[in-house]
């Protein structure tokens, strides 16, 4: 495809559909908004340049997340930053709550922070599987493809992660 209105429209539709999911995934991996914006911009620039090569339109999500993962790891390799220094950053804003709901909102936020901190204690691969599935909204098959591991291993690691987080939540609630 050349620089045609059709290509621009397809890009715009794809960008609007995936920008928040990609942004949230990258931000949770790098914990730096400026860096995240640079990486996301680079991902969509690569997508625009390679749109013609993506034959199966159903694999756009896979392509974007795989490119995001590769760009994140390339950045950390180039900066010689170890992957265990990845951090999870909560980017959700607390909704404006009425005074009676403020305490409930605070408790929810505290619980979410505890869960996100617990994610930092997980091995990088387990954490990334969780983020791709829960924040990226990808299927098990897509996560397996991006991570280059077996789909059953994705299911197993995600199950263990969820069980660990459920156990943590139960401890906090008691």
Rounded to whole angstroms, how far apart are CA atoms 25 and 28?
Answer: 5
Q: Is pLDDT above 90 for 39?
A: yes
Predicted confidence (pLDDT) at residue 98 exceeds the cutoff of 60: no
DSSP state of 3: S
- Split into its structural domains, the chain has a count of 2
Other Cβ atoms within 10 Å of 9 Cβ, number: 10
From residue 18, give the alpha-carbon distance in Å to each of 3, 10, 70, 83. Answer: 21, 12, 17, 25
Top-confidence residue, 174 or 137: 137
Structural domain boundaries enclosing 155: 96-174
Please check whether residues 102 and 162 belong to one and the same domain: yes
pTM: 0.61
Is 129 among the domain residues? yes
Q: Clarify whether residues 116 and 56 are in a common domain.
A: no
Last-in-domain residue among 59, 82, 105: 82
Domain match, 57 and 102 both: no
Q: What is the mean pLDDT of residues 46-60?
A: 85
The pLDDT score that the predictor gives to residue 105 is: 61
Lowest mean pLDDT among 68-72, 92-96, 134-138, 149-153: 92-96
Confirm whether 89 is domain-assigned.
Answer: no
Domain at 169, CATH number = 1.10.10.10
Do residues 74 and 100 both lie within one domain? no
pLDDT tens digits, 121-151: 888 888 889 888 888 888 999 999 999 999 9
108 and 36 belong to one structural domain: no
Q: How much is the CA Rg of the chain, to the nearest whole Å?
A: 18
């Amino acid at each position: 495809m050349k620089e045609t209105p059709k290509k621009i429209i397809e890009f715009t539709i794809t960008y609007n559909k995936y920008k928040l999911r990609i942004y949230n995934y990258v931000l949770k991996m790098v914990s730096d908004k400026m860096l995240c914006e640079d990486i996301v911009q680079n991902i969509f620039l690569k997508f625009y340049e390679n749109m013609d090569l993506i034959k199966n339109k159903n694999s756009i999500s896979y392509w974007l997340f795989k490119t995001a993962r590769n760009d994140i790891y390339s950045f950390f390799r180039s900066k010689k930053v170890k992957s265990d220094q990845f951090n999870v950053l909560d980017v959700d804003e607390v909704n404006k709550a009425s005074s009676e709901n403020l305490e409930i909102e605070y408790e929810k936020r505290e619980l979410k922070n505890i869960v996100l901190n617990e994610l930092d204690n997980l091995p990088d691969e387990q954490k990334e599987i969780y983020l791709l599935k829960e924040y990226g909204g990808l299927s098990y098959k897509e996560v397996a493809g991006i991570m280059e591991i077996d789909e059953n291993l994705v299911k197993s690691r995600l199950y263990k992660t969820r069980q660990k987080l459920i156990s943590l939540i139960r401890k906090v609630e008691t």
